[in-house]
Amino acid sequence: MRKPVIAGNWKMYKLLGEAVETALALKPLVANTNHCEVIIAPVFTALKMVCDRLEGSNIKVAAQDCAAEIKHGAFTGEVCADMIKDVGCSHIIIGHSERREFYGETDRTVNLKTKACLHYGLTAIVCIGEMLPDREVGNAEKVVKIQLLGALDGLTVSDMERIIIAYEPVWAIGTGKTAMPEQAQEMHSSIRQVLTETQGKNIAEAVRILYGGSVKPDNVKDLMNQPDIDGALVGGASLDAQIFAQIINYK
Ligand code: 13P
């Protein structure tokens, strides 16, 4: 049985005080939530305080990116995965489509960052997903497969225990256009098939594959009912504690 994961990606929203306020508002709303893991990903500047204030709760904290480098050094502006662990985070989102689109992330950097994250014992939430033109010409599965193989290149069987995949079709992010549950299921199943072929059946059956792209309280249940959808990576609707709690407590 794969335990579902509902993660909130707060992107570049919320000043420190707002992030702490939202995290503290969420805490009692999910205090009795056992059916899924709950994760929030605030901006870097809020990570330490959010982690401190959530200590002992069932909400885990993720960073939204990390450096590809494993060793500390002269890399202005970068944050090493162990620094993220040091402030109390357990997860890192890697290769989000916004990072690929606006900041030049490639399958190669996603692979290096994933390895850096795993090197320090954190769990990587690896994002993959096609753009609209890929889907329109029937290339969605192919594009996603290339991203997946690129991200996971060189990982060991034990590494795979700390990998979560997030399938986020770029055309569904922030647009209000969710993939139809069946459409998402088809892609999730194809991702699991690629995992079976490359990592073996046991690993493929254990890896959680989250869906992301306009997940809301009114569509989460249908998505979660699909056999290969193991959770959600939520953007806009995770910014409000009440709304995010409705998504988390979808059951
Ligand atoms: P939205 O839920 O706002 O579409 O964002 C999805 C996303 O990018 C999560 O990482």
Cβ-based neighbours of 183, under 8 Å, separated by 6 or more: none
For the domain that residue 190 is a member of, what is the CATH number? 3.20.20.70
* DSSP-assigned letter for residue 186: H
Active site includes 168? yes
Tell me the HSE value of 123 on the side-chain side, using a 13 A CA sphere: 21
Contact between residue 240 and residue 15 where contact means Cβ atoms under 8 Å apart: no
Run of H or E including 7: strand 5-9
Q: What whole-number percentage of the chain has pLDDT above 90?
A: 96
Which tens digits make up the pLDDT trace of 39-74? 999 999 999 999 999 999 999 999 999 999 999 999
Domain interval for residue 94: 5-248
pLDDT mean across residues, the chain: 97
Which tens digits make up the pLDDT trace of 76-106? 999 999 999 999 999 999 999 999 999 999 9
- Report residue 27's pLDDT band, with 50, 70 and 90 as the boundaries: very high
Residues with C-beta less than 6 Å from any ligand 1 atom: 9, 96, 168, 173-174, 212-215, 233-237
State the Cα–Cα distance between residues 13 and 18, nearest whole angstrom.
Answer: 9
Active site includes 78? no
Closest ligand 1 atom, residue 236 Cα? 3
Contact between residue 164 and residue 152 where contact means Cβ atoms under 8 Å apart: no
Model confidence, pTM:
0.97
Å from CA of 11 to ligand 1 middle:
9
Number of domains the chain contains = 1
Bridge partners, 233 (sequence order): 7, 212
Å from CA of 71 to ligand 1 middle:
31
Kindly report the CA angle at 4 between 2 and 9, in degrees rounded to 5? 140
